Amino acid sequence: MAATWQNPEFELGGVNHLALVCSDMKRTVEFYTGVLGMRLVKTIDLPGDAGQHFFFDMGGGNLLAFFWFRDAPDAVPGVSTAATVPGIGEFTTAVGSMNHLAITVPEERFLEYRATLKGKGVRVGPIIDHDESELGFSTTLHDGVYVRSFYFQDPDGILLEFACWRRELARPGDVTHTPKTAADRVVKV
């Protein structure tokens, strides 16, 4: 959550939609409507039988879209998708990939939602209480935790996060790190 701020350059209204790629549109519809409760609001068949493009209502005026392409290559865990979820294993992905999608949930329902997903058979990672400590997280909830979250994956391995902000961002001390450059990367061969 960020403090109210006006962009002096463009009047941006947030994310219109995020478009991801799935391997099986039927299975994707079943997961996002049946497991996560999103509403399917628009379906499109692409010209020339090239694929499909479906849109789901995430709430709050936000949409999540999926493409199904007839000739899409398979995902490569650890490259195009995370190998697993934070707190369980490696979640680094390649430059240009989408690492994860964080979805805002109310803090008062955070634990309930985690239990509901587990009850539906979804493997969820541990709760991560993000704070300003050296590790960046705590094993206990305290006043310095600015966001609570847990991660899980959809049927194609897309990394999802349920997150609840605990305070406003952009306070003094929130922006203190020097951005790294391409020269700082260690590229594995």
Q: Lowest mean pLDDT: which of 42-46, 95-99, 104-108, 154-158?
A: 95-99
pLDDT digits (tens, 9 = 90+) for 20-50: 999 999 999 999 999 999 999 999 999 999 9
Cβ proximity of 164 and 176 under 8 Å: no
- Domains of the chain in sequence order: 14-73 (3.10.180.10), 74-171 (3.30.720.110)
Cβ proximity of 97 and 50 under 8 Å: no
pTM of the model: 0.89
Average pLDDT over residues 137-158: 93
Tell me how long the chain is: 189
* HEC profile of the chain: CECCCCCCCCCCCCCCEEEEECCCHHHHHHHHHHHCCCEEEEEEECHHHCEEEEEEEEECCEEEEEEEECCCCCCCECCCECCCCCCCCCCCCCCCCCCCEEEECCHHHHHHHHHHHHHCCCCECCCEEECCCCCCEECCCCCCCCEEEEEEECCCCCEEEEEEECCCECCCCCCCCCCCCHHHCCCCC
Q: Lowest mean pLDDT: which of 35-39, 120-124, 180-184?
A: 180-184
Per-residue model confidence (pLDDT) at position 149:
96
C-alpha span between 118 and 122 (Å, rounded): 5
Kindly report the average pLDDT of the chain as a whole number. 91
Whether the per-residue pLDDT at 96 is higher than 90: the answer is no
C-alpha span between 9 and 97 (Å, rounded): 27
Whether the per-residue pLDDT at 2 is higher than 60: the answer is no
Per-residue model confidence (pLDDT) at position 46:
94
Residue 168 tokens, joined: 């406003």
Per-residue model confidence (pLDDT) at position 172:
86
Sheet hosting strand 147-153, strand order edge to edge? 101-104, 159-165, 147-153, 128-130, 137-138
Cβ proximity of 97 and 80 under 8 Å: yes
In this prediction, what percent of the chain has a pLDDT beyond 90? Answer: 65
Cβ proximity of 105 and 87 under 8 Å: no
pLDDT confidence tier of residue 189, bands split at 50, 70 and 90: low
Average pLDDT over residues 69-76: 93
C-alpha span between 27 and 58 (Å, rounded): 18
Q: What is the end-to-end Cα distance of the chain in Å, rounded?
A: 38
C-alpha span between 12 and 27 (Å, rounded): 33
Per-residue model confidence (pLDDT) at position 13:
82
